[in-house]
Amino acid sequence: MYFSISAKTYSDILYAIFEGLKKSIPEPNLSEPQLVANIVYNIPNEINRVSGAIKCGGIFVHQQPFVEYSNMPDPKQKSVEIGDLLLLRSEINNGREISTSAMLLQAKKNDKFPIIPDNENQHYLYAHWPVFKYCKKSGDLTGQQRCINGLDVYNACKYLIFSESYIPFCYPDSNPPAIRRCFFDFIKLPLNTYTAHPSWPYLSSFISFPQELLNFIIGNAGKLYISSPPQNDGNWSGVINDLKTITANHTSVIISRTTGIPHTKRGVSLFFSGDSSCLSFISKDNKQSILISDEPPNVSNLENDIIEEEEGGISIIEFIVDTSDESHTRLRME
């Protein structure tokens, strides 16, 4: 399965990603959580402005959930985050879900190459995926074991690197001139963004994040998963559905305070960007999503009591790609 996509649609989506990153990275000293919060807010907003074929929404959740596994390289650390950002993609055609895919990202700021991530336990988790179990901030999943495997795991679980360093080979000359000019504008940002395989001991296979995200949107990156796997599925599909479920179904102190409605679940409305399809897992309880925030949160100002009270989940950007009408979407399945 692949897509025929017009040059205009391709460039429109790519420029929207660049514009979202430009607004997300105004200066280089932002923390990793703040960068993720900004991206989760700005990229969906920009993509929703330019593409009728793609609806996009996002939720920001800070530092959750945590997992643990046996024989961690650094025994002083008892648990690690499973990730900072989950990308989800659902392809629909005439109202029917055709496929679902996902990519799990761990965000890191780093200016030294080659890169050895500073959290050895987290790096080992992504590099080898030993059997792990959910621990604190995981709600009903706490204590449950999972194991991700498969030949394409490195394509689905990556590092998202923010760096002042420029890596020329991440911007291929095979792109059309207009797209190459777009990349040149991108490298003028305070921080460059790349994805990388979590290989051991050094990260490898760097790709510019805009290119990676565009590939993900058109179905050429990430890993397919089953949206309704068997109950005992502890592999990739099970883990993705774990993260979707706890993110959407748990109550959110932040959203409750924003809406003024107590005990509000994240799935009732999108934290940031509205306009997702009713097939969206985030807005599954509503026929129309609700925009309840007009800017990303200032992560450093989030009160400690909110962070402690907030139930488990993970930051998510969700893309709904509609291939029903080629004349409208210019995305065609072949």
- pLDDT at position 301 is 57
Q: What is the average pLDDT across 27-33?
A: 90
Q: Which residue has the higher pLDDT, 4 or 152?
A: 152
Query: How much is the pTM?
Result: 0.85
Asked if 64 contacts 307 with a C-beta cutoff of 8 angstroms, the reply is no
- pLDDT at position 330 is 45
CA distance 101 to 237: 9
Q: Which residue has the higher pLDDT, 86 or 7?
A: 86
- pLDDT at position 328 is 43
Q: Across 54-68, 89-103, 173-187, 290-304, which has the greatest mean pLDDT?
A: 89-103
To 10 degrees, what angle do helices 209-217 and 7-24 make?
130
Q: What is the average pLDDT across 319-333?
A: 61
The pLDDT mean for the chain works out to 77
Q: What is the average pLDDT across 168-175?
A: 54
- pLDDT at position 86 is 95
- pLDDT at position 169 is 55
CA dihedral sign, ordered 249, 251, 257, 261: positive
161 pLDDT tier (thresholds 50, 70, 90): very high
Classified as helix, coil or strand, 8 is helix
Classified as helix, coil or strand, 206 is strand
Q: How many CB atoms within 10 Å of residue 302?
A: 17
76 pLDDT tier (thresholds 50, 70, 90): very high
Q: Could you tell me what percent of the chain has a pLDDT over 90?
A: 33
Q: Which of 30-34, 66-70, 89-93, 186-190 has the lowest mean pLDDT?
A: 186-190
137 pLDDT tier (thresholds 50, 70, 90): low
Q: What is the average pLDDT across 141-152?
A: 88
CA distance 133 to 82: 10
- pLDDT at position 281 is 53
- pLDDT at position 71 is 93
| Residue in this structure with the two tokens 């207009």, named with its chain if needed | 178
Task: Strands of the chain (E only): list them.
Answer: 3-5, 54-59, 66-69, 80-81, 85-93, 96-109, 132-134, 145-146, 157-163, 192-197, 204-208, 223-224, 315-322, 331-333
Using the predicted structure, report yes or no on whether residue 315 has a pLDDT greater than 80: yes
Asked if 272 contacts 41 with a C-beta cutoff of 8 angstroms, the reply is yes
CA distance 148 to 132: 9
Using the predicted structure, report yes or no on whether residue 42 has a pLDDT greater than 50: yes
Residue ranges per structural domain of the chain = 3-333
Q: Which of 101-105, 183-187, 312-316 has the lowest mean pLDDT?
A: 183-187
- pLDDT at position 322 is 82
Taking only the tens place, the pLDDT of each residue in 280-301 is: 555 544 433 444 556 676 766 5
Taking only the tens place, the pLDDT of each residue in 207-257 is: 889 889 999 998 999 999 998 777 777 799 999 999 888 877 655 555 555
Cβ neighbours for 94, distance < 8 A, ≥ 6 positions apart? 324
The token pair that represents 23 in the structure block: 């607004």
- pLDDT at position 49 is 85
